[in-house]
Amino acid sequence: MSSLDATSNDTPQDPQLVDNPLYNRIKERAQADKPPSRRSPLGAVAASRIAGTSSRKEMAERILEEDGDLVAGTFGTVWYKPVTVCGIDLKLEPLQPSIGTVVHGLDLATDLDDPEVVTFVRQLWLKRRVIAFRGQEHLTQKQMVRFAEHFGVVGMPFGEKDHVPNSPYDLNQQVKVKDIPNMLVLPSDAEVPNIASGWHADATWQQKPPMASVLMCREAPPVGGDTCFCDCHSMWEGLSQATKERVANLKAVHIGSVGHQMDGKTPMSVHPVARTHPETGRTSLYVQQGFVKKFADEHNIPEVEERKLLLEMKSQEGRPEYTCRVKWEPGTLAMWDNRCVLHSGSGDYWPHRRYMERLTILDADESRRVPYYDPN
């Protein structure tokens, strides 16, 4: 179904959601003809696009009318690097100078059976931190798992198997995929829009956060809904020398949200502020203020100084020079390195539909899963 003809659809993208209290609370807002809350960018952007009405229905209709004239096409010049790997001609399209590459020419269902191709993709991923592939809509959910297994151990939806959230206050976890408990589904439609907007790396509130995440787009808005990625090595390099020296040996507290609770307990972990990448040896700033609100108590940092340091770090998040964005099409798959990349969904696409599937990957080398800082 195209996202353009879907907003009158009364059924959720997945029937498993109909009994969920959070889902129904958001749906009530739709049934009362109230626009999405402006506390979410989805509501703020819609209000910015369509002024002069407080009717959700009218807003949605006017946005769909405005976007209804869009047609798919290509024009312009794309710069890419041609390479041949194991006899396969590839085109490597950089998204930004320091981060992000789209790899054209691989079929993820078959080409990674050759270990040399896997080695090439891994090296490229380590260098560019985010890689994306187009035209992979033929990949089944099981083949997606197989793809992820080439790079490590496929984790549960939030990484390690010992923390599986069971809070009803997160829509993504309520959709269970038959036979694939590892998969997290992220549905969003006109009635119950849903987006992980805000800079974060996945599940850093875990003791051993997932090494990588893989995201597949099954349904995309015609405009909007990109995922933005931010390079944490650049974030570290961009701090002042004085701040680097002050924080290099500090630890910060990462706290999950209510949606990450397991048996009513909010997960929490303490990780180094400067993180050494276990494969490249490079340092990244491992503080993202989605989950980090303070430094570890053991440091006794005065509140005023703590606020100043966190603010300086926050000013690094999402700088245009450190970021790239992936525009999704059905069949676009991206894989990023959670050890040195933040991401944020662009909450600008309501009332269009968006449907994504995510896997996390744990480092196959268990000794590298806990974040550490090695100044040498």
User: Which residues form the interface with Fe ion (CB under 5 A)?
Assistant: 196, 202
Q: What's the CA dihedral at 166, 170, 172, 177 to 10 degrees?
A: 20
Minimum distance of Fe ion from residue 201's CB (angstroms):
8
Alpha helices (runs of H) in the chain, residue ranges in sequence order: 21-31, 41-49, 56-67, 115-128, 141-149, 232-237, 241-247, 303-314
User: From the CB of 51, what's the least distance to Fe ion, in Å?
Assistant: 31
- Give the C-alpha distances (Å, rounded to integers) separating 186 from 325, 341, 355: 18, 20, 6
Least distance from C-beta 49 to Fe ion, angstroms? 25
Closer residue to Fe ion (CB): 202 or 317: 202
Element housing 176 (H / E): none
Considering the complex, state which of residue 143 and residue 172 has its C-beta at the smaller distance from Fe ion. Answer: 172
Contact criterion met (CB below 8 Å) for 156 and 183:
no
Asked if residue 159 lies in contact with residue 359, where contact means CB atoms within 8 angstroms, the answer is: no
Nearer to Fe ion, 7 or 344 (CB): 344
Using alpha carbons only, how large is the chain's radius of gyration in Å? 21
On whether the CB atoms of residues 106 and 100 are closer than 8 A, the answer is: no
Q: Of 189 and 202, which CB lies nearer to Fe ion in the complex structure? A: 202
What gap in Å lies between CA 213 and CA 1, rounded to an integer? 27
Shortest CB 253 distance to Fe ion, Å = 19
Cβ closest to Fe ion, residue 160 vs residue 202: 202
Shortest distance (Å) from residue 56 CB to Fe ion: 27
Shortest Cβ 290–Fe ion spacing (Å): 9
For Fe ion, give the closer residue by CB, 43 or 157. Answer: 157
Nearest CB to Fe ion, comparing residues 7 and 174: 174
Nearer Cβ to Fe ion (67/160): 160
Alpha helices per DSSP H over 197-339: 232-237, 241-247, 303-314
Q: Which parts of 1-114 fold into alpha helices (H)? A: 21-31, 41-49, 56-67
Give the residue ranges of DSSP H helices in 133-271.
141-149, 232-237, 241-247
Of 353, 356, 355, nearest in space to 7 by CA: 353
User: Least distance in Å: CB of 343 to Fe ion?
Assistant: 6
- Least Cβ distance, residue 83 to Fe ion (angstroms): 30
How many angstroms separate the CA atoms of 125 and 101, rounded?
Answer: 8
CB 235 within 8 A of CB 199: no
